[in-house]
Chain A
Amino acid sequence: MSSAPADAAVDATARARDFLGVTRLTNAALTTWLHGLPGVDQVGCEARAAGLGTRSIKNDSKRWAIDLAISMIDLTTLEGADTVGRVRGLAAKALTPDPTDLSTPRPAAVCVYGDMVAAAKEALGDSDVKVAAVATVFPSGRASVPVKLLDTKDAVAAGADEIDMVIDRGAFLSGNYLEVFNQIAKVKAVCGAARLKVIMETGELVTYDNVRRASWLSMLAGGDFIKTSTGKISPAATLPVTLIMLEAVRDWRDVTGEQIGVKPAGGIRTSKDAVKFLVAVNEVAGEDWLDNHYFRFGASSLLNDLLLQRQKLRTGVYSSAVYIADDSPSTAY
């Protein structure tokens, strides 16, 4: 495996020209390339996803899978009502997911709005838990490019280790792929050392073919991660959609040698679901992706369920939500 560092600054347009074998990167060239990708067999894809979901996972593997899944979580709070207190609570949860068992692994990152990055950074200190910030006018992405870039710069300046951007779905659906490409490339350029996750909002892309095209387009433009959704739109992270993205990153590495990450986000709430995703990662992309540098879960309630199952495996009895630390400030008095 020859994998170039995904964070290396590359001139995205020049690289895309090389990749497509054209002298000038036009919308027509991108369209020809993207529409030349093989179509997705919808029925086959869904059947394969359903098949992967039926694997029987034995206890030892389950124990391992639960710890791996916890370490892959981007613990997320993206609400209009977020406060510094709420973010601190989330950070405390990330640092000590289960106070009754300190061997519990920590989630990969805490994912917040840009204005909460400083608070999250301070609460997490010099721990290995990263701070991810959503940017480019999350979740709609409807703003001018300078605003989007400023939003991103702001989060990076506040210390964000990772940036979760949204693509312009309107431009993508109306066939203006070059605009989508340029926006991703520009955001990538202001990210600096921060890793860029590109949210495609698959629930708005209508077809699996579009998911495949958006995946390739995002990787071509320099995304370090491709991410399913904002979590604000339903359906969000389904297994078939994730399957297509895993195929895309696998094929991308075959072609370029560069390993891109995948992040399903939204709607993954149970340990059972998470394990199904891990099975898909292993079977479709391969073992190299079973690492939180290359695979993440965007989730808020998933961690609690994983902790419950972890306690069940440890104690041998079914656990209860009252044995899980509550990270949200109480609203009931």
Chain B
Amino acid sequence: MGARLDVRKTYKLYIGGTFPRSESGRSYEVFAAPARAGATPRFLANAAQGSRKDARDAVVAARAAQPGWAGATAYNRGQVLYRVAEVMEGRRAQFAEEVRVGEGISPSRADSLVSQAIDRWVWYAGWTDKIAQVAGNPNPVAGPFFNLSVPEPCGVVAILAPQESSLLGLVSVIAPAIATGNTAVVVSSKDRPLPAVTLSECLATSDVPGGVVNIITGDAAEIAPWLASHRDVNGLDLTGSAGVEGLAWGELEASAAETLKLIVRPGGAGARAEEPDWAIEPAISRMTTFLETKTVWHPKGR
């Protein structure tokens, strides 16, 4: 019996519930965070380098999935999202290892981040059937009508995932967008894409319909302008523009304004984008930003 051949993993994109390579055929090298300044970085993987055409395909998939996902009952969406947390829990060791080498932190710190990420996912899963009670309202009107304001998902949301926090940050931007019934096209952290690839495998195996979340690994500076100007994208989360060379979030916002997209600006003050502190318990603003309010007048007897 000879030595066993390695079974090496091909890191791919996640579009429409399938794992394609980039249409461009490109890939790029992913390295571990260096242990100390000046050390030679350790090679980790070849990740697929997504292109604008991958983003285009992802938007088509997200658009196709949107009515079904928004049409599912809020309770059902919550169950499905909770299932994702269950599957993530089963992959805890893999996540912890990828976070550890990618972010250059201790095993115990990585393990804690994974716990926080899973807890955050569960937190948002719980919001699916509660957000309408908070963001919606029966309005008092001067007439024989029930007047109801109901929050509805805006549609397809393009998300630039944070560059630094490769799992907790990633979860903190994806979960709020999809919990309310939007579908998402996510551009992962460029230097730390591996937790995003693993998360896509969790999503693929946990009853989340294909196309609800689409994850593209690659360079946000290359892909983001196309998503910002895309007329079939309804919302844009610019969080991950912080720390990206050659990407001015103000220009993306200006471009997005052409098609009235809903925007989440990155953290930080003025033009200088900074990544938020993900350890802080979130407000519901990441959910409410990507909602539109429908108001219904319903006649009632006197």
Contacts and interface: CB of A to CB of B under 8 A. Distances in A.
B59 interface: yes
Interface string B73-113: 00000000000000000000000000000000000000000
B214 to A, nearest CB: 15
A316 B63 CA distance: 20
Interface residues of A, number: 8
Given A317-B231, A318-B230, A321-B63, 13 more contacts: A316-B229, A317-B226, A317-B229, A317-B230, A317-B258, A318-B56, A318-B59, A318-B226, A319-B232, A320-B230, A320-B232, A322-B231, A322-B232
> Which residue of A317, A318, A319, A323 has the most chain B CB atoms within 10 A of its CB atom?
A318
14 contacts: A317-B226, A317-B229, A317-B231, A317-B258, A318-B59, A318-B226, A318-B229, A318-B230, A318-B231, A320-B63, A320-B232, A322-B231, A322-B232, A323-B231
Interface in B227-259: 229-232, 258
Interface residues of B, number: 9
A316 B230 CA distance: 10
A246 to B, nearest CB: 29
Interface in B32-87: 56, 59, 63
Contacts, number: 24
Contacts of A317: 226, 229-231, 258
A224 to B, nearest CB: 38
Nearest to B229: A317
A16 to B, nearest CB: 49
Contacts of A320: 63, 230-232
Contacts of B63: 320-321
> Which residue of B229, B230, B231 has the most chain A CB atoms within 10 A of its CB atom?
B231
Interface string B205-232: 0000000000000000000001001111
A129 B243 CA distance: 55
A316 B229 CA distance: 9
Nearest first, the 7 closest Cβ-Cβ pairs linking A and B are A320-B232, A317-B229, A320-B231, A318-B230, A319-B231, A318-B56, A323-B231
Nearest to A319: B231
Nearest to B231: A320
A200 to B, nearest CB: 33
Contacts of A316: 229
Contacts of B232: 318-322
A2 B226 CA distance: 51
Contacts of B59: 318
A217 to B, nearest CB: 41
A320 B63 CA distance: 10
A322 B258 CA distance: 14
A320 B231 CA distance: 5
A137 B157 CA distance: 48
A81 to B, nearest CB: 21
A214 B284 CA distance: 65
B294 to A, nearest CB: 13
Nearest to A321: B232
A13 to B, nearest CB: 52
A321 B60 CA distance: 10
Interface in A46-63: none
Interface in A276-324: 316-323
A227 to B, nearest CB: 29
